[in-house]
Each structure stands twice: as structure tokens, then as C-alpha cells.
Chains A and B, each alone.
Chain A
Amino acid sequence: GQNIDQPTEMTATEGAIVQINCTYQTSGFNGLFWYQQHAGEAPTFLSYNVLDGLEEKGRFSSFLSRSKGYSYLLLKELQMKDSASYLCAVGDYKLSFGAGTTVTVRA
């Protein structure tokens, strides 16, 4: 089975940086995904890591350490529109999702 842990909530100021951690224990691993979900909407894909290291995509970066069962999503230059829930998901063909981290960006 899968056990995925993320912090419940985080608050940050516009323009700042926030790091969302995700730890997982899984019986099989073929990749880790990060999704963004605004309230009342479906998740949208942000990033994917299958090898150790940092993947950078504009203001968003994701890091993976397979030996530690650990990932983080880094949001830089925060904007108000980044206020959302961020979901960590692991698996292969089927994904298991963490409970999500609600990020609130304040002016």
C-alpha cells in the first residue's frame, strides 16, 4: 500500500518562497507527481519526478530523494493566484494521493 504525508496548511507572503514537503512509504514506486487544485476545481498537473534530483519549471521546482522517500515542491515569487491545495501523488499506472497542503498567499 501507500502512505503519503504532507503538511495540512501553509501561509506565505506574496513574493516569498514556500517549500511543501512530502514523505511517502510505498510498496512500489515509479514516479512522484505534484498537482495543484483550486477550491472546487479538478487538479492540474505541475511536475513529475522519477529520478533523484531537482526538476525546475519556471517558478515551480520539485525535488525527489528515492532513498529517503521524500519530495518537496518549491514555489518561488509567490502570487495571489498560487493560493490553492497542492497534492503529492505516487504510484505507477494508478496514483495514490496525499491529503494535500493548502497554501494561502497573503498580500
Chain B
Amino acid sequence: GAVVSQHPSWVICKSGTSVKIECRSLDFQATTMFWYRQFPKQSLMLMATSNEGSKATYEQGVEKDKFLINHASLTLSTLTVTSAHPEDSSFYICSVRTGMSSTDTQYFGPGTRLTVL
């Protein structure tokens, strides 16, 4: 399977500031990565699909101007939470799918816990 890393593991920031989260595919060139958000005791909610070299595809209800996604290379996607507020505090997880077939598994990064004060 693919090995996926995220940085930072956790971050605390003040309300109104911006936070950048990195997702790296360490052993697989990923043309597509996925960004999820998970609130406590809830399931993973897909936020957006990150496409290398093109614009991300956002799910309904996710503000693209607030959650900026950049996928500049086949191994790195970044999610920037702009003007973060306490309600943005959550567990953000990225994933890589190793192919386009429905049989290809998604592999998840370790997650980034964001706390906005």
C-alpha cells in the first residue's frame, strides 16, 4: 500500500489566522489526493478532491475560498484553512488512492488535529 504523511500532526492557532497542512505521498505518485474532515465521534466527511496540476473539486457545502488546496506535484498536496475560526477545529485527514479502478484502496495519512482558539 501507499505510505502517506501529514505535517503538522497538530496545530493550535488564534482565530483569524491561516493554517497550512501538508500531505505527502512518500512512495507513490498520486495524481489525485482526497481531503477529509472529521469532527469528534463523527465520520469522515469528504471536503475536496485534489488534482495535480489543476483546480481541486470541492464537495457541496465546502467553501473553496476558505479551504485552499494546492496540488503542485505528484507527491504533495496542501490544504490551507484561511481565517480560521473555532468551528474549523477538527481532525483533517488526507488520503491517496493508488489507481482509478474501484478496486484500488485509499490509504490515509495520520491526520492533523487543528484547534482554533
Contacts and interface: CB of A to CB of B under 8 A. Distances in A.
B117 to A, nearest CB: 20
Interface residues of B, number: 22
Interface stretch (A13-21, A36-44, A59-67, A68-76): A36-44
Given A87-B44, A93-B97, A42 B103 contact: no
Given A41-B111, A43-B108, A95 B103 contact: no
Contact of B34 (A41, A50, A94): A94
Contacts, number: 46
A99 interface: yes
Contact of B46 (A30, A50, A94, A98): A94
Interface of A: 30-31, 33, 40-45, 48, 50, 87, 92-100
24 contacts: A31-B103, A33-B105, A33-B106, A40-B91, A40-B111, A40-B113, A41-B111, A42-B108, A42-B109, A43-B44, A45-B106, A45-B107, A48-B105, A50-B102, A87-B43, A93-B102, A95-B106, A96-B46, A97-B43, A97-B44, A97-B45, A98-B43, A99-B43, A100-B43
Interface of B: 1, 34, 42-46, 49, 91, 93, 97, 100, 102-103, 105-111, 113
Given A40-B111, A43-B93, A96-B46, 20 more contacts: A30-B102, A33-B105, A40-B113, A41-B111, A42-B93, A42-B108, A43-B44, A45-B106, A45-B107, A48-B105, A87-B43, A92-B102, A93-B97, A93-B100, A94-B34, A95-B46, A95-B106, A97-B44, A97-B45, A99-B43
